[in-house]
Each structure stands twice: as C-alpha cells, then as structure tokens.
C-alpha cells in the first residue's frame, strides 16, 4: 500500500470536508466527538514534548485561550501555541497600532473587515502573523528566525494567488501585497517595498481603479492608496473632482459644496485676494468649511482619515515639478503647511509617515524663507504658517529658525499669551480635537514666555502613534 500525501484527517477526507488540522483532534472531530486520525502529521504540530511526555508551553505558566470556537484558521509551519499567541497579539495590539484612529474593538476595521478575510486566506493569514511576529521579535532582540520563515511562506502563497487572475484581484491578495510592502519598507528594503507597490497598483487596475476597490472594500482602498503614497514619497492614485466624478480617491460628502458659495460664507483671512493659485485656494476654502461643520457635527475618525488622504493627494498632485512654471512662495507655503497640518491632526496610520512628512517639511521651510521678505502675508495667516512650522519641525534642525520667526512675529503683533496667538491660528485653519491645543500650545508658550531654549519642547508625537519597530 503506497503512502498518501494527504494532510487532512481521515474523517474529514472521507466526508470531503476541509480540515483545519487541529491537534490532537481537528475541530470537526471534536464537534462530532469522533476519533481523529492523521495519515501524516499536520504542519500545525503541537509544541515539542518534554521528557515527561507533556506539552511544554512556549510561555511558561500562561496559555492562550482559543481565539475562535473552532480554531478555524489556515495551517502554518509554526507550533499551535505560537500561532495562538501571534493571533492574540494581532487582535489586541497590532490592529490598534495599524489603525489607532479607532480604539473600539467593535468597529476597528482591522478587526471587523480585515480579520474575517484573514481566516479564509492563507497568504493574508501568514502576512498578518508576520506583523505580530516582527513586533514580538523586535522586543525580544533575538533575531528574526520565525518572521523570516513566515515571510518565505507568505511570498510562496502569494505567488500562487497572483498567478491566478481570479485570485489576484481579491481583497485578501491586495491586503497581503501592501502589508508586505510596509514590512519591507520598515526593514529598509526600499526597492522591494516599491516593487510591491507597483504590483498592487496593477491589481487595482485589474479591479477597475481605486474607486471600484473602495466600493467593495473601503479598508483595502484606504490602505493601498495611503501606504503606497508613504512608500513612494508621492501620490500613486488620482483624486476625483470636487463633485465626486472620476475613478480616483473620492472626497467626503461634506466636501461637495459650491466653492463660490463657500468664499462668501466663510471668511478666509483674505486668502482669496492673495497670490494663491486656484488649486490650493480651492482646497483650503473647502477644507476650512469642512472643519467648521465638524465643529458643530463631529465626524467619525474614519472620515477624518478619508479627508486627510483626499486632501494630501489633491495638494501634492497639483504641486509644480521642475518642468512646471513656478508658483508664488505663498501658494507653496499654504500647500505644504496644509499637508503637514493634515498629517499632524490625523497622526500615523498603518505605519509611520515620517519620511514623506520630513520631505514636505523641507519644502515648507524653503518657501517660508522665500516668503520672509514678502509683505503680502496677512497677520493671521502668517501666525498660522509659523504655528504649523514649529510643530512640524520640532526635533529637527529647522526648529530654531521657526521659533525665531515666531518670536519676532509675536513681538510685532504684541502677542503675550497662547490665548492671544490662538485667535489668529484658529481663525485660519483649525480642527478642534481633544489633543489639538496640547500639540500646538507648548511651542507658543515657550516662545511667548521667553524660554531661552524652546527646543526643550518635546518633539511632536501624535496620540496613538505606532511603537512597533517596523511600523514606527
């Protein structure tokens, strides 16, 4: 009798059901209370037995409870208890590091949208475990043996899916590819990360564009568009127009108001009569109106993320390149200060935005220095630009120049307290949040109180910012 390569237990094979390869008995055999016999040892083998014949837990004195009633997750080459521990870490830690905007387990998209797909998609399951495993190994500082093993299996499983067009366009496939991109980017493998981004863009095209992906999987569309921008350093997808027409990233409903009405309804600190190009002025006016509406009817954090993604894409896509006519310094200051402000109020999502944030900061500082000799800036707008500049540059070489300019401005306007400065800041562009004043006020307090070294103010770290090494 020849040996079989079958991995499922005999009972599942006989009834032609999928087997989750649980040991010592799979979930179906446990439920049916029948004997569970494997022709071959499953890959989800139990932890190594000690000399007494009992299972030695990986974490002494602690065992994780079953994550779901039937342990119905794809098989891996890791011991069962290690898999349970990584699942627990993903559900209780990684999901909230990836998406700190929503600390509610009942609504966090990585728990309600991502995880159900993970349980049915071996490639995404391995990739998700890898994020938790990297976090575990970074803390332990004992190398990356297990995460490297998961990476090999993740890539192998993903290649099989990508080779089949019907599987390649699935949400789980795109989730897997973009997550591998974040992992490689965090490891410093920039070219590999960018290769993954190019791959996921092709998958998006096969689905009919980012708008089509969003209609069936908002989380996938959000993560792909946002992460690809962070990795490549510039937007990879177009935006829809103000009316929501097109195949790109859509605006939120509050955005779709008539701009002519907005200019009359919302005082803009004279920005409409200054030398600010229409593309930037239009975004600024609409965004200010959205923030004022949010002050009356707060919108959910997911909507803040959608707004941030749309605004940053729109502003960076319209930025002039080396072949385009130069815009006015004020236009570019408003453009890059608005981009930085959106990054600041949202905070890191999925993984750190430090690289593109610092690139944008360099551009803002260059144009602010060009603007220094230009008398066309209104008082409040100038204060707002410096407020954003100080927060964004904290902890960088640009901070000293920013605080010096803020101090000179405060003296010329006779600003003595944060309350006086905040009148100007909040009159330009401001979203009232629980942390907003805690982010901006310390820098102005240091400047207005004559603190000899304002750089003693802590560098800005947003609430809920990521701490795991590969996503921070």
Task: Give the pLDDT band (50/70/90) at residue 268.
Answer: low
pLDDT > 90 fraction of the chain, expressed in percent and rounded: 65
Q: Which tens digit of pLDDT belongs to each residue from 42-86? A: 444 333 333 333 333 333 333 444 445 446 899 999 999 999 999
pLDDT at residue 61 in the model: 36
Tell me: pLDDT of 176 over 80: yes
Q: Specify the residue for token string 């307290």.
A: 417
pLDDT at residue 60 in the model: 35
Q: Which of the pair, 108 or 62, is modelled with greater confidence?
A: 108
Instruction: Return the SS3 of 20.
Output: coil
- The DSSP output letter for 243 is T
Helix-helix angle 329-346:379-393, to 10 degrees: 50
**Residue 303 CA, distance from chain mean position:** 14
- Copy the structure tokens of residue 327: 């815009």
Tell me: pLDDT of 40 over 60: no
Q: Which of the pair, 377 or 166, is modelled with greater confidence?
A: 166
Dist CA 290 CA 110 (whole Å): 27
Task: Give the pLDDT band (50/70/90) at residue 205.
Answer: very high
Q: Which tens digit of pLDDT belongs to each residue from 376-427? A: 677 899 999 999 999 999 999 999 999 999 999 999 999 999 999 999 999 9
Q: Is the peptide bond before 24 cis (omega within 30 degrees of 0)?
A: yes
Helix (H) or strand (E) holding 428: helix 418-428
Most confident of 193-207, 293-307, 426-440: 193-207
pLDDT at residue 459 in the model: 53
For the segment 101-126, the average pLDDT, to the nearest whole number, is: 93
- Copy the structure tokens of residue 338: 């608005």
- Of the listed ranges 76-80, 131-135, 370-374, the one predicted with least confidence: 370-374
Tell me: pLDDT of 146 over 80: yes
Q: Which of the pair, 467 or 6, is modelled with greater confidence?
A: 6
Task: Give the pLDDT band (50/70/90) at residue 470.
Answer: very low
pLDDT at residue 258 in the model: 59
Q: Is the peptide bond before 180 cis (omega within 30 degrees of 0)?
A: no
Q: Which tens digit of pLDDT belongs to each residue from 317-338? A: 999 987 888 788 999 999 999 9
Tell me: pLDDT of 34 over 90: no
**Residue 300 burial class via C-beta count within 10 angstroms: exposed 0-12, middle 13-18, buried 19 and up:** exposed
- Copy the structure tokens of residue 48: 């190594």
pLDDT at residue 251 in the model: 96
- Of the listed ranges 23-27, 114-118, 215-219, the one predicted with least confidence: 23-27
- Of the listed ranges 17-26, 59-68, 139-148, 447-456, the one predicted with least confidence: 59-68
Tell me: pLDDT of 156 over 80: yes
Give 1-45's CATH code, choosing from 3.40.30.10, 1.20.1280.290, 4.10.240.10, 3.40.50.970. 4.10.240.10
Dist CA 356 CA 340 (whole Å): 10
For the segment 92-98, the average pLDDT, to the nearest whole number, is: 92
Domain chopping of the chain, boundaries: 1-45, 76-237, 258-471
pLDDT at residue 457 in the model: 54
- Of the listed ranges 25-39, 110-124, 168-182, 277-291, the one predicted with least confidence: 25-39
For the segment 351-380, the average pLDDT, to the nearest whole number, is: 88
Tell me: pLDDT of 458 over 80: no
Asked if residues 297 and 253 have their Cβ atoms less than 8 Å apart, the reply is no
Which residues does 302 contact at the CB level (< 8 Å), separation at least 6? 101, 102, 109
pLDDT at residue 382 in the model: 92
Helix-helix angle 418-428:379-393, to 10 degrees: 100
Q: Which of the pair, 399 or 275, is modelled with greater confidence?
A: 399
Asked if residues 304 and 99 have their Cβ atoms less than 8 Å apart, the reply is no
Asked if residues 101 and 305 have their Cβ atoms less than 8 Å apart, the reply is yes
Dist CA 83 CA 79 (whole Å): 6
Dist CA 21 CA 30 (whole Å): 12
Instruction: Return the SS3 of 351.
Output: strand
């Amino acid at each position: 009798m020849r040996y079989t390569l079958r991995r499922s237990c005999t009972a599942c094979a006989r009834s032609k059901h999928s087997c989750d390869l649980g040991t010592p008995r799979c979930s179906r055999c446990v439920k049916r209370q029948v004997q569970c016999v494997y022709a071959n040892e499953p890959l989800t083998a139990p932890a190594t037995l000690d000399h007494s014949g009992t299972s030695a837990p990986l974490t002494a004195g602690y065992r994780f409870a079953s994550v779901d009633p039937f342990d119905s997750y794809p098989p891996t080459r890791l011991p069962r208890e290690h898999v349970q521990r990584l699942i627990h870490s993903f559900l209780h830690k990684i999901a909230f590091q990836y998406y700190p905007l929503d600390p509610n387990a009942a609504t966090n998209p990585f728990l309600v949208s991502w995880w159900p797909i993970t349980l049915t998609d071996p490639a995404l399951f391995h990739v998700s475990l890898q994020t938790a495993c990297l976090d575990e190994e970074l803390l332990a500082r004992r190398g990356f043996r297990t995460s490297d093993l998961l990476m090999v299996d993740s890539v192998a499983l993903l290649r099989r899916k990508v080779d089949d067009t019907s599987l390649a366009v699935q949400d789980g496939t795109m989730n897997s590819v973009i997550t591998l991109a974040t992992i490689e980017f965090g490891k410093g493998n920039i070219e590999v990360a960018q290769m993954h981004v190019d791959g996921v863009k092709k998958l998006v095209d096969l689905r009919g564009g980012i708008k089509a992906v969003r209609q069936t999987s908002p989380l996938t569309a959000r993560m792909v568009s946002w992460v690809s921008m962070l990795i490549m350093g510039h937007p990879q997808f177009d935006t829809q127009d103000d009316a929501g027409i097109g195949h790109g990233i859509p605006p939120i409903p509050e955005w779709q108001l008539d701009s002519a009405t907005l200019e009359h309804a919302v005082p803009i600190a004279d920005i409409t009569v200054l030398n600010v190009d229409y593309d930037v002025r239009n975004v600024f006016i609409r965004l200010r109106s959205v923030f004022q509406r949010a002050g009356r009817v707060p919108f959910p954090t997911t909507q803040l993320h959608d707004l941030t993604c749309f605004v940053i894409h729109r502003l960076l896509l319209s930025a002039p390149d080396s072949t385009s006519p130069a815009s006015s310094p004020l236009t570019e200051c408003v453009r890059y200060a608005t981009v930085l402000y959106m990054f600041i109020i949202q905070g890191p999502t999925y993984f750190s935005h430090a690289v593109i944030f610092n690139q944008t900061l360099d551009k803002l500082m260059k144009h602010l220095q060009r603007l220094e000799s230009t008398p066309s800036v209104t008082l409040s707008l100038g204060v707002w630009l410096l407020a954003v500049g100080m927060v964004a540059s904290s902890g960088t070489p640009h901070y000293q120049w920013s605080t010096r300019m803020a101090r000179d401005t405060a003296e010329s306007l006779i600003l003595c307290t944060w309350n006086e400065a905040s009148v100007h800041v909040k009159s330009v562009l401001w979203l009232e949040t629980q942390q907003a004043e805690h982010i901006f006020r310390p820098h102005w307090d240091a400047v207005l109180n004559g603190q000899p070294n304002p750089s003693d103010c802590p560098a800005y770290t947003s609430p809920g910012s990521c701490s795991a090494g590969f996503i921070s």
